[in-house]
């Protein structure tokens, strides 16, 4: 179960008359009062926390409260999705999101009292002021996110971990780590390219993969050998399945006067069946088992830009 702690500043009174003490310096409050818990297994040391980039993005507010709780408590009890404003409550205090109120004809699912008219302003204010770290913080994401923006960010976070597609390799990391991983572990080369520009790759029988690196995205060229009728070539990318429509590519295989061509979308590396019908089959007469294959490629962006991710070279 994921838990987190809101970074806070609290003061305690030692006067018998409960007189408010003089405010301590912000650094002293941080050293004595603040602990950031990313998850149940990982805690940042206090000394590193004071200089951690996540900490600097927390709003400067001397009236925050220290609290650690399960974020699932801020899910709608009906649809189990994270609550977002407006939030409604019945006369007995049972809360629900606006969408569920409409679906249930403004009848409370817990007590059958009318709902959908009384706003739960207290929970709305908590949600508006709540900031959380991305669940991929351990892979390098340093963003602090509003509670209502967290889920949308995590579906497209550039630090989502992926598992290496090479059979028998258990390496898992963000996409930015794969060029070095493929080169160092699998002796696989990386080719840099620009969108809407044709480039050539010569595939040798030993080339099972070639990393293709654009300025904002990482692709992987697959070369599957020894199929019954020939060799298969296709492309995947390091991104979510819902982003498959954001790119397309042309692939051509040339041999003398013969040309095989395909235009399609790259499949997500997360797909179980990565090539499906999106591949080019190079027949035996065009590519002897021990001979190289010349591939022409061109990538395009028919959809919006995926992210601000910069693939390190």
pLDDT at 240 over 90: no
Burial 6-28 (b: 16+ CB within 10 A, else e): bbbbeeeeeeeeeeeeeeeeeee
Is the pLDDT assigned to residue 6 strictly greater than 60? no
String of b and e for 204-239 (b: at least 16 CB within 10 Å)?
A: ebebbbbbbbbeebbbbbbbebeeeebbbbbbbbbb
The mean pLDDT value for 44-61 works out to: 42
Asked whether the predicted pLDDT for residue 43 surpasses 50, the reply is no
pLDDT band at 239 (very low <50, low <70, confident <90, very high): confident
The mean of the pLDDT values for the chain is 75
Looking at per-residue confidence, does 275 or 167 come out higher? Answer: 167
Query: Which SS3 state, helix, strand or coil, does residue 124 take?
Result: helix
**Residue 275: per-residue pLDDT:** 63
* Torsional class of 196: left (φ above 0), alpha (ψ -120 to 50), beta (otherwise): left
pLDDT of the residue at 154: 85
Return the pLDDT at 276: 64
Strands 131-133 and 144-146: antiparallel
pLDDT at 50: 34
> What is the per-residue DSSP string for 5-35?
EE--------STT-PPPPPPPHHHHHHHH--
Q: Which two tokens stand for residue 27?
A: 């650094």
pTM here is 0.58
For the stretch 100-157, pLDDT in tens is 999 999 999 889 999 988 998 988 888 888 888 888 888 888 888 888 888 888 887 8
Lowest pLDDT segment from 62-76, 79-93, 226-240, 285-299? 62-76
Share of the chain above pLDDT 70, in %: 70
pLDDT at 285: 66
CA distances from 124 to 61, 89, 96, 128, 145 (A): 19, 11, 12, 6, 16
Query: In which band, very low, low, confident or very high, does the pLDDT at 309 lie, cut at 50, 70 and 90?
Result: very low
pLDDT at 279 (0 to 100): 87
Per residue in 73-102, pLDDT (tens digit) is 788 888 888 888 899 999 998 989 898 999
Lowest-confidence segment of 9-23, 245-259, 278-292 by average pLDDT: 9-23
């Amino acid at each position: 179960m994921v838990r987190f702690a809101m970074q806070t500043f609290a003061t305690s009174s030692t006067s018998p008359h409960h007189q408010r003490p003089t405010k301590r310096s912000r650094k002293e409050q941080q050293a004595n009062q603040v602990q950031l818990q990313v998850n149940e297994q990982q805690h940042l040391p206090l000394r590193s926390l004071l200089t951690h980039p996540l900490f600097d993005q927390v709003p400067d507010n001397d009236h925050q409260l220290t609290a650690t709780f399960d974020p699932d408590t801020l899910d709608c009890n009906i649809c189990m999705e994270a609550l977002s404003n407006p939030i409604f409550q019945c006369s007995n205090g049972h809360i629900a999101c606006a969408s569920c109120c409409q679906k249930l004809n403004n009848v409370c699912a817990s007590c059958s009292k009318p709902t959908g008219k009384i706003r739960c302003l207290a929970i709305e204010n908590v949600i508006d002021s709540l900031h959380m770290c991305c669940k991929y913080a351990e892979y390098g994401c340093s963003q602090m996110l509003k509670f209502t923006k967290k889920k949308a960010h995590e579906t497209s976070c550039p630090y989502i971990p992926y598992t290496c597609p090479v059979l028998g390799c258990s390496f898992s990391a963000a996409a930015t780590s794969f060029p070095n991983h493929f080169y160092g572990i699998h002796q696989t080369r990386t080719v840099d390219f620009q969108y809407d520009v044709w480039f050539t790759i010569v595939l040798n029988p030993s080339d099972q993969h070639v990393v293709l690196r654009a300025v904002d995205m990482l692709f992987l060229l697959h070369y599957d050998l020894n199929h019954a009728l020939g060799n298969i070539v296709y492309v995947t990318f390091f991104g979510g399945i819902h982003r498959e429509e954001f790119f397309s590519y042309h692939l051509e295989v040339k041999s003398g006067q013969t040309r095989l061509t395909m235009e399609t979308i790259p499949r997500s590396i997360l797909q179980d069946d990565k090539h499906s019908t999106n591949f080019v089959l190079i027949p035996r007469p065009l590519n002897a088992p021990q001979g190289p294959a010349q591939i022409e490629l061109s990538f395009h962006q028919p959809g919006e830009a995926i992210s601000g991710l910069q693939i390190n070279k």
